[in-house]
Structure 1
Amino acid sequence: MSDRDRRDRLRSVAEARDRFVSTGETPEGLRPVVRSSWQRSIREGLDPDHSSPPVDLLDDDLEAWRAGHPLADAMPVIRRLLVDDAREAGMLVAVSDAAGRLMWVEGPTALRRRAEGIHFVEGALWSEAAAGTNAPGTALALDQPLQIFAAEHLARPVTAWSCSAAPIHDPDTGAVLGALDLTGGDDVAAPHTLTIVKATVAAVESELRLHRLTRASDRQGAGMLLRSLGRESGGALEGGHGITRMSGRHTELLVLLGQARDGISGDRLAVELSSDDHAAVTVRAELSRLRTALAPLTLTSRPYRLDPHLVTDVEQVQDLLRGHRIAAALNLYRGPLLPTSDAPGICRLRDQLHRQVRDALIRTGDPDLLLRFADTAHGYDDEQVWRAVRDCLHPGSPRHDGVRAHLARLDRELG
């Protein structure tokens, strides 16, 4: 874009904003995504000339929140791919949670100090209702990458800035974890900048997946972990020399054995796995094959007892819930236990654990944790969870309108 074209665009957008603030009318040339965002912001009570985002997370509370957030694992990648170059280019890099709260804001010191004047700081809530139209808040509201140029920002103090942002999704569940934003001068709204942001988001999501996979190698010498939550066809045994895929039946056996650390009889296991009268014979044969697959770990008999060096992700989530470490439990809960299994003991445990996780989340009243659960396939149609989100979500959250619309759809479909 030439200097003249940029000046023309700046003037046109500024005139459109002033007209909207004065009369409520939006010119034809205004981008639809901006027009809709302005209208949402006003409906939510934004004062275009005087509103400032609240800074509602500070000091130790902020540090604790960042340390337990899944995106903490991705910050080294963001710094390597984006922050260093952005610092040289005179731009800020921000990472928010799913509710629109800024967790990290990094870049040149002088620019960060300037940004303090508009409350673009760590711990601030950057939503459309609190800050007006802005890239991270609007990207979360729409769940799509976008750019906001100069006076496309509705709040007057922010019209000197431009930004590009994209939502970040959990690579396993698809839940929105937060947003990645690049903020600075007019150059930030150039098309190639959004391409860079989207590429960095893709790298972040890949890093999160890789981080989970490499934990298996980190477990060498520290025992083995069975992952069964959210897995359709069978579990994965991590540790030793990598990852071993387990059959559905062997995964069911290991999960049930993990729930009976003091031991369980073959007959009881057979009841937990099937209502078939001949199941006991089949189970003993499967246990024999499982013992071979687990070597060098042991599986003792009379009663059957699992090697203490092997733990299941079900046990880990249960332990975290008992310790009231709800955020950590949610990070491990990848979905319902073996959702395609019809084994009675697995079905009972699956329903029980899912209920315990969702009830614990509802009790927290934390919008980010609730949204990370609600955005998944196993939370998408859970009306109680979405009502809990609505009740605790800040009125200025970028997700506010979307949550209300989702609840309206659930009311129509579920009666």
Structure 2
Amino acid sequence: MNLFNTASAKNLQTTHLINQHTVHAAPVLALPPEDKTSLFRRSIQHNYADLLKIADDSDMAIGLTDHQGTLLWTWSSSAMLSSAEQVHFIEGGHWSTQAVGTNAIGMALNSQISSCVYSHENQMDSVRDWVCYAAPIWDPTSGQFHGIINLSTKYKKHTPLGLLAVERCADLIQRAIKFEQQNFLYIKALGSPWVQFNGQTLNLSHRQIEILCILALNPHGIGLEELHYALYGERSVSLKTLKAELSQLRSLLPHSIEARIYRLSCEVQCDFLRAEQSLNANLISSTFSLYKGSFLSKSESPLLSTWRHCFDARLSQLIYQIKDIDQLLRIIGQTHDRIDAVQRLLELLPQDSIHRNYFSNLI
């Protein structure tokens, strides 16, 4: 059984995270085919004409990224087209701060608030005649972070209304996300678990959430007996009990769970798989923006327990590679269960730091 669903992340490798001082264009990543019909992509298409008009009227380039900073869609006015193509402000261009240094997309991605980066503030020399405005896009129902919308133009055309304009664009997309939520399942399993279907929070048992997570980890389907073992292991629980759980789930998620070979047939997004995708790409900020706590910490499912332990081990390995004290402080502030982050912080703090005693007491 494949414990990790990494197909969607196979094009995100750490080889593109290079010394920003030598970068003149963003790395370009191949987008997985499933992104073409995703909820987020449909929401972009829903507002295509309005977004294009905003960019065209202002002689700007406009782009929307996924939650990692990879551009899913762009359009450039004639004034920006050539330079946008040269720096890879194009579909597939990856604009995290790890990849290209300080830039508006990366700053908004890290802080998840609106950002303006002006001219010389850009770390990449090739965009130092640009001014860029970026805003995060959230699911108005679940609060899920989808990505960043960015408006860019030449610095001579900087306007104090730039941030308002990009936030207006973000609002358009967020409204479209709510409109497009049909047959859409969102599973949150990091920290306190809950599930939404078509924008409505479902009242599910912990066991039912476990089943949905197992199905999400097996997108091509799983047989009944294999599902039974993945969920219960050697525990003496009958197949009839599992069938009853599945029957109830299918009634709560109509036309969304195929039988015999059990598979989720609706559109699915999971915080833990998105976090894994970011972890695969070694994108620290993106990973910890999704990580809200341990994956189904109460689960005794053999499959889910193994996934949890493997993910935690990889996360810990990433933490011990961090050399930035501020980044560790942000992680500790966001996630109170990561003792490894505190231990790593103590390794980096000067011996005479006034903060050592406080953080030592957290262990």
TM-score normalized by the length of structure 2 = 0.49
Structure with greater proportional helix content = 1
| Bigger Rg, structure 1 or 2 | 1
